[in-house]
Structure 1
Amino acid sequence: MSYVILDLEWNGSYSKSAQRFVNEIIEFGAVKTDDEFNKTDTFSALISQKIGKKLSGRVKQLTKITNEELAEGGIDFLKAADMFTEFLGDSVLMTWGTSDIHALIDNYRYYLDDGHIPFLKRYCDIQEYCEKAMNKYDEGCQIGLGVCAEMLGVEFSDEEQHRAESDAELSLKCIKKFTSEVDINPFILDAGCKEFYDRLLFKNYFITDLKDPEVDRSQLKFRCDKCGRIARRTKRWRLHNKNFTSDFLCKGCGNKFTGRISFKRKYDAVKINKRIINNSKKENTAETPAE
């Protein structure tokens, strides 16, 4: 088995024809490895801009890529994608997080009116792999590549970051910190199926209506954090910042507290988050009745 670590740079461009912003890819950079993550080959290509006319100041500052470089040395996106397809072969494609995959979908939709990525068959999210290997996985607070490298003691310069091939190299260095101890195979996904795209493109959302059939109303009960008994709700549920809150009284010990709960719809299930806020720590915020 071989692996290809891909990194992309892109520029936010507005398309008048599509009437939307597109993360227009301006650079491909990749590293190919053998099954033990020894580097065997590299790939790099600049992409000429077709959607936007100029790079944003932020992109120029971060990447040091100039408009002149893209105009003189850039090739068409679809040509670069074909070249990368040949480079990838039957290797497992890897990226740091899924933002590069979203950018590819965005560009294929623009050029071919189809978000399917032809060369994507097997896929591994390096960010998820490294975070779980470090016991730092948190969907709400993901670790950036540079931060991860620093945490792992991987040396790199600021100049090496934000260019596609250099970032791919840095991702490889992070991976190699764990491959001897943490099996990467469970993180390799079948990316050729519809479910992969459905899961990737699903937008999580909070349920803000307690009458929604996906709300498990049994979860609206709260146990006293002092004695463990079921407490009685003393006020109506209120909605604030996508959380439902209400006041509770424990008849057993007299403890008063505020219960807070949220229901977040994810691709697989509804994630429930409950917590108790002591009255001394209650927030003074405007809330909307939820029932």
Structure 2
Amino acid sequence: MGYVIIDLEFNNLKNITKYEEDFFDKHKELENINLENEIIEIGAIKVDKYMKQVAEMREYIKPSVFPVMNPIVTNITKITMDTLQKEGITFKQGMDKLKGMIEDGDVICSWAKDDIAEIIINSNYHNYTDLSWIKEYLDLQEYSTKILGHKKAMGLKSALDELKIKVDNTKLHDALNDAEYTLLVFKHIYNSRIVKNYIINDVYSMPAIHVKDLDNINIDEEKLDIRCPKCNKKIDLKENFKLLNWRFVSIGICPKCNSKILSELIVKRTLQGKNAYNEVNTILKEEAYLDYYYKLEKLNSQK
């Protein structure tokens, strides 16, 4: 059994018209393309059950979907179209090489579920059907967040800082370097007994894809079981869940310990197309509770 830590870099067309207003006039074929992120770099490191490194890979992927680099992506990753064309391999070659690192019993790991989801999404787009090697999966962001005692998802840089791991900021947003930093975090908090509780055996059923059309989401509150983080008693919600920025929010009071609770629901979609809720409940002080109360009342009045 081993662990294969992967990291990807993507190109996309997000906010591309800020840099080229007539972009979609020039590239009408990209206006409704059925792919949001194209994988342009794969980094992966394999370690055994003792955390000893046994293999690594780093490959640029020659683009076949987006013919230009988004300036935002180049600014962050320093990857240019010239580099991809000269040094890149095909998507199939990249996937075959990654697949070759993974043996039966290995666990694929990444910081958050975005990368494993994009491997499957990009594979479907490219008709790359040999995904039988994607079996057991570990979200190292989720594992690290829980082990380090945080309620909300940690960024990789935050985890590195908390563990006092030295970081060269100029090396971030490089697929292999980010995989190495992710591995360093994992090594610091690895527990072979505890980690088994976080390994996912059905990647397709896990909440992995960010939902953008939140305005069209209706929360089925009957399926929720909102509980107090202090005493685990079911909370009496004072408001229906309302969309507030990037998540749904409600407030309530615990009938047992009288704690004032902020309940947040982050909606994600599985690779099977079903919506799933990630629930975060936080105890609020009186002032913060009233602040959320007035925000929700304002949303009610805007109906």
CA contact (8 A) 1:104 1:117 kept: no
- 1:92 and 1:59 map into 2 onto residues whose CA distance is 29
Q: Out of 151, 156, 166, which is 2:167 matched to?
A: 156
SS at match of 1:79: helix
Per-residue deviation at 1:52?
0.8
Q: Kindly state the Cα deviation for residue 286 of structure 1 after the two structures are TM-superposed.
A: 3.3
Tell me if 1:86 matches 2:100: yes
Which residue, 113, 118, 121 being the options, matches 1:103? 118
Answer whether contact 1:206 1:262 (CA < 8 A) is retained: no
Report if the CA contact (8 A) 2:109-2:139 is conserved.
Answer: yes
- Pair 1:199-2:206 in alignment: yes
SS across alignment from 2:37: strand
**Equivalent residue for 1:3?**
3
CA deviations on 1:210-254 (whole Å, 9 max, x unpaired) are 9x68278x99xxxxxxxxxxx9x9xx98968555789xxxxxxxx
Q: Conserved in 2, the CA contact under 8 Å of 1:215 and 1:263? A: no
Task: Tell me how far apart the structure 1 counterparts of residues 88 and 51 of structure 2 sit (CA, whole Å).
Answer: 30
| 8 Å Cα contact 1:128-1:137 kept in structure 2 | no
Residue 57, structure 1, aligned to residue 71, structure 2: yes
Q: For 2:67, what is the secondary structure of its paired residue?
A: coil
C-alpha deviation, 1:9, in angstroms: 0.6
Q: 2:91 aligns with which of 77, 82, 85?
A: 77
Letter in 1 for 2:33: Q
Alignment match of 2:58 (pick from 44, 56, 67): 44
CA distance in 1, matches of 2:184, 2:99: 24
Q: Is 1:214 matched up with 2:226?
A: no
Contact 2:144–2:186 at 8 Å: present in 1 too?
yes
- TM normalised by structure 2 equals 0.68
Give the conservation status (yes or no) of the 8 Å contact 2:265–2:277. Answer: no
Change over 3 Å in CA distance of 1:289–1:23 after alignment to 2: same
Quickly say closer, same or farther: Cα 1:80–1:269, change in 2 above 3 A.
closer
**What percent identity do the matched residue pairs reach?**
23
For structure 1, which runs of at least 5 residues remain unmatched after alignment? 220-230, 247-257
Aligned-partner SS, 2:5: strand
* Partner deviation per Cα, 1:137-185 (whole Å, 9 max, x = no partner): 32xxx21111210111001201221111101110111011112587322
**Aligned partners of 2:35 and 2:125 also within 8 Å:** no
Q: Which residue of 1 aligns with 2:158?
A: 147
TM-score, structure 1 as length reference: 0.71
Could you tell me which amino acid in structure 1 is paired with residue 10 of structure 2? W
What 5-or-longer segments of structure 2 have no aligned partner? 14-26, 227-235, 253-259, 269-274
Q: Distance in 2 between matches of 1:190 and 1:238?
A: 31
* Inter-partner Cα distance in structure 1 for 2:249 and 2:283: 10
Residue 259 to residue 200, structure 1, CA distance change in 2 (3 Å)? closer
Q: Report if aligned partners of 2:117, 2:209 keep a CA contact under 8 Å in 1.
A: no
1:17, 1:113 → 2: CA distance? 24
Most deviating of 48-57 and 12-21: 12-21
Q: Would you say the 8 A contact 2:151–2:280 is kept in 1?
A: no
The 1:68–1:180 alpha-carbon spacing in structure 2 relative to 1, beyond 3 Å, is: same
Kindly state the Cα deviation for residue 112 of structure 1 after the two structures are TM-superposed. Answer: 1.2
Corresponding residue to 1:33 among 47, 51, 56 = 47
**Residue pair 1:127, 1:145 contacting (<8 A) in 2 also:** yes
Quickly say closer, same or farther: Cα 1:95–1:262, change in 2 above 3 A. closer
User: Could you tell me whether the CA contact under 8 Å between 1:237 and 1:244 is conserved in 2?
Assistant: yes
What is the letter of the counterpart of residue 101 of structure 2?
F
Q: Does 1:173 align with 2:184?
A: yes
SS at match of 2:178: helix
Equivalent residue number for residue 224 of structure 1: none
Q: What does 1:109-124 align with in structure 2 at a 5 Å threshold?
A: 109-112=124-127, 117-124=131-138
CA distance in 2, matches of 1:10, 1:43: 17
SS at match of 1:48: coil
Correspondence 1:132 to 2:146 = yes
The more displaced of 72-81 and 15-24 is 15-24
Q: Deviation at 1:22?
A: 2.4
1:54 is displaced (CA, Å) by 1.7
